Structure 1
Amino acid sequence: MTKTQQFIVDFYHKNPFVEYLQAEVVPTADGGVQLELTVEAEHTNLYGIIHGGVLMSLADTAMGAAALTHNKKVVTMNLSMDFMHSVPMTTRLIATGTVLHDGRHTMTLESDIRNAEGKLFAKGHGTFYVLGLVEE
């Protein structure tokens, strides 16, 4: 695990909301991280499928983590989601973030939320305000 990956894992481990969601921050071979979550009853709505807010939170956090890999501390300005398929309980989800624009004041990112087999359940797109650098 790289120093940056360890920082991101530690950073999100201290985040009470990420811990509440029971999302795991997992280093990837390319030097980034992904979020993983197994859908449990507390993540579902009245229809027994994952609540859209959980998917949005996963996407938002995955994009924030991708910004951290670019040495940027960010907050969300705008977030949109496309939901392709419902996600039943016990599904293991993997959320990744990708930087599309790495600006000095704003960043544009996207997120894919898939299962281990690669099925795309949701896609997020976000604009983020850069608060500053992680390491000056």
Structure 2
Amino acid sequence: MTHWDEILKKSEQLYWGLLGCRLIASEQDYITIGLTATPQHLNHMHIVHGGVQMSMMDQVMGMLSMAIQDGQPCVTTNMNTHFVESMKEGELFATARVLHLSGRTVTLQAEVSNADGTVGAISTATFIATRK
């Protein structure tokens, strides 16, 4: 599994840090990240903006893609998202797992849930490892 300390430290100045993401768990077959949703993550209806949930899922799936591709950077080629429940302020978690690996291409599934375990969004995506 990829060692995340150095990567995440550099990422604090990037979109990861802007969102307020943090690594929760990094295992062989899944990765979980967290975010404390504050008013800045909400839309005008006072629920977590869908873009925040999509960003969390894209981030966690990209991290898992990179981990299983031996640290090779990966980019999203396609992402499909279903929003199934509104999320409010508080702790959110995004977990990704691999559905299929074929050469440089990885297909994954992710979901965002809150501290109660309620799922807010589900996504599948395909990533491709960039060439060295």
Please state which band the TM-score falls in when normalised by the shorter chain: 0.7 to 0.9
2:87 maps to 87
Q: TM-score when scaled to structure 1?
A: 0.84
Q: How does 1:23-102 map to 2 (within 5 A)?
A: 23-28=21-26, 30-31=27-28, 32-70=30-68, 71=70, 72-89=72-89, 91-102=90-101
Task: Give me the whole-angstrom Cα distance separating, in 1, the residues matched to 2:79 and 2:56.
Answer: 12
Q: Distance in 2 between matches of 1:60 and 1:127?
A: 10
Deviation of 1:104 (Å): 1.2
- CA shift for structure 1 position 14: 1.8
The residue identity in structure 2 corresponding to 1:43 is H
What SS does the aligned partner of 1:19 have?
A: helix
Q: Is 1:67–1:74's contact at 8 Å kept on the other side of the alignment?
A: yes
How big is the shift at 1:118?
A: 1.9
The corresponding residue for 1:120 is: 119
Letter matched to residue 114 of structure 1:
S
**Percent of aligned positions with the same letter in both sequences?**
29
The runs of at least 4 aligned residues of structure 1 exceeding 4 Å deviation read none
Q: Secondary structure at the match of 1:14?
A: helix
CA distance 1:87–1:45, change in 2 (3 Å): same
Residues 15-40 of structure 1, C-alpha deviations (whole Å, 9 max, x = no match): 20000000111234x44531101110
Counterpart AA for 2:82: D
Aligned to 2:4: 8
2: CA distance, partners of 1:82 / 1:97 = 15
Coordinate RMSD, CA, aligned: 1.8
Unaligned runs of at least 5 residues, structure 2:
none
| TM-score, normalised with respect to structure 2 | 0.86
Letter aligned with residue 101 of structure 2: D
| Distance (whole Å) between structure 2 residues aligned to residue 51 and residue 17 of structure 1 | 16
Query: How many corresponding residue pairs?
Result: 127
Q: Which amino acid aligns with 2:62?
A: G
Distance 2:9 2:84 in 1: 29
Give the partner amino acid of 1:79.
M
